[in-house]
Amino acid sequence: MLNSQSAPPVSAPPNWLIPLDTAERVLTVGPDHINYRGGVGSVMNVYARHFATFKYVTTHRVMGKGKLILFFLRQYLRFVQTLLNDPLIAIVHIQASTHGSFYRKLLLFLTARYIFRKRVIYHMHGSRFVEFYEQSDPVSKRLIRFLIEKSDIVIVLSTYWRDYFNRHFRVRRLEILNNIIHQRDKSAGFPTRPAGKLPVRLLFLGAIGQRKGIFDLLDGIRQYRDSFEGRLVLYVGGNGETNRLQSYIAQHRLESIVKFEGWVSGIRKHELLSTCDVFILPSYNEGLPLSILEAMNYHLPIIATPVGGTAEVVHDEVNGFLINPGDQKAMCQRLMRFIDNPDLITRMGGESGRLIGGYQPAAVLPQLHHFYTDLLSSDF
């Protein structure tokens, strides 16, 4: 489906953060941003609400590999058709990841840059980019370098990623742009739980698999079960290796401590974020995880690992705790600190609320608007 359909017109529009004279010149390509199941789709969903018109081509949806190839080919033709039929478009903003996504976006880049002579912004979200680049064969490495070094602007999510790209590539222009989350509707229901009441409600939202560290967390809870029984409840939301997760819970009889919620979105996600006490994401690699930003937006303290850009939003001993990936003992010790010192939940959660302002639309999108206007005013 071509979502180069613009946002529906409204009478008396708001003060758009990306105004019409700029928004109509930009075509964004990336994953499904309406029925999304991932961080990049969530970011694009926020963009769509703040562009005066949002021209968008969906290039990825969650589906089987064979169907995805056919879907992408159809969308590539629509991408070409959009560039042919819309002479206002001057910039193609590519939302990028790694592995298969890279090769799909390479075709879009070559088409936009060398056939249609458009400016290209390459916006890297991939948490596994280091692994992807450094383990690629020489030909693939050359293609990766070519795309990155020929883009007009490369956007990354944090200083960690800026430093990595500066070390490995000769980028024409490299910019940091924070990930972005929706402004929370504070008038919505589900009041937060009273501080200090046991059990502490712990929340994990993310892909179920080794990379996000969920099985390290379960192993830690199993090992220190006597310390957590009756004092901690873990809510797990996500998709991926769900059968493995449920088998682990049943095998080790953790049903009284661990509650699997399945894929969480909408009202249930809001309810969990509003009523849980602490958020945890013990990942092995990340870009800048949206789930952590969303939890901070609900004033939750965070337990996470200092991978990717995470340490730039989770400040150890300020709005949460940072532990090394796979360190189950340290993870459980930090959980016990929240259980034994409930005031920490309130204090660190308040710090999360203070720090999150830089990741909301009013802070992020004016920077993006500046990138666009710079490109539009410069010679090709």
Q: Is there a single domain that holds both residue 353 and residue 364?
A: no
If one counts the domains in the chain, the total is 2
One domain for residues 267 and 329: yes
Look at residue 56 and tell me if it is in a domain. Answer: yes
pLDDT at 60: 85
If asked whether residues 306 and 369 sit together in one domain, one would say no
Whether residue 211 lies inside any domain: the answer is yes
What pLDDT does 28 receive?
A: 98
CB 332 within 8 A of CB 309: no
Residues 352 and 214 grouped into a single domain: yes
Q: Are residues 244 and 344 in the same domain?
A: yes
| Domain assignment of residue 192, yes or no | no
- 50 versus 7: which is more confidently predicted? 50
126 or 53: which leads in pLDDT: 53
Phi-psi region of 206 (alpha: psi -120 to 50; beta: other; left: phi over 0): left
Q: Are 71 and 61 in contact (CB under 8 A)?
A: yes
Rounded to the nearest integer, the mean pLDDT of the chain is 91
Average pLDDT score over residue span 276-281:
97
| Phi, psi of 240, rounded to the nearest 5 degrees | 125, -125
Q: Are residues 349 and 365 in the same domain?
A: no
Judge contact between 288 and 178, C-beta under 8 A: yes
What is the model's pLDDT at position 195?
65
Has residue 41 been placed in a domain?
yes
Q: Which of 105-109, 117-121, 306-310 has the lowest mean pLDDT?
A: 306-310
In the chain the beta strands, taken as DSSP E runs, fall at: 26-31, 55-60, 91-96, 119-124, 153-156, 174-176, 200-205, 232-237, 258-262, 278-281, 302-304, 320-322
Given a cut of 50, is residue 5 above it in pLDDT?
A: no
pLDDT band, residue 12 (cuts 50/70/90): very low
Q: Please report, for the domain that includes residue 98, its CATH number.
A: 3.40.50.2000
Report if residue 164 sits inside a domain. yes
Range among 34-38, 185-189, 286-290 rated most confident: 286-290
| Domain hosting residue 235, numbered range | 200-357
* 8 A C-beta contact, residue 364 and residue 178: yes
Section 5-17 average pLDDT: 52
pLDDT tens for residues 54-113? Answer: 999 999 887 677 788 999 999 999 999 999 999 999 999 999 999 989 999 999 999 999
Q: Looking at the structure, do residues 249 and 330 belong to the same domain, yes or no?
A: yes
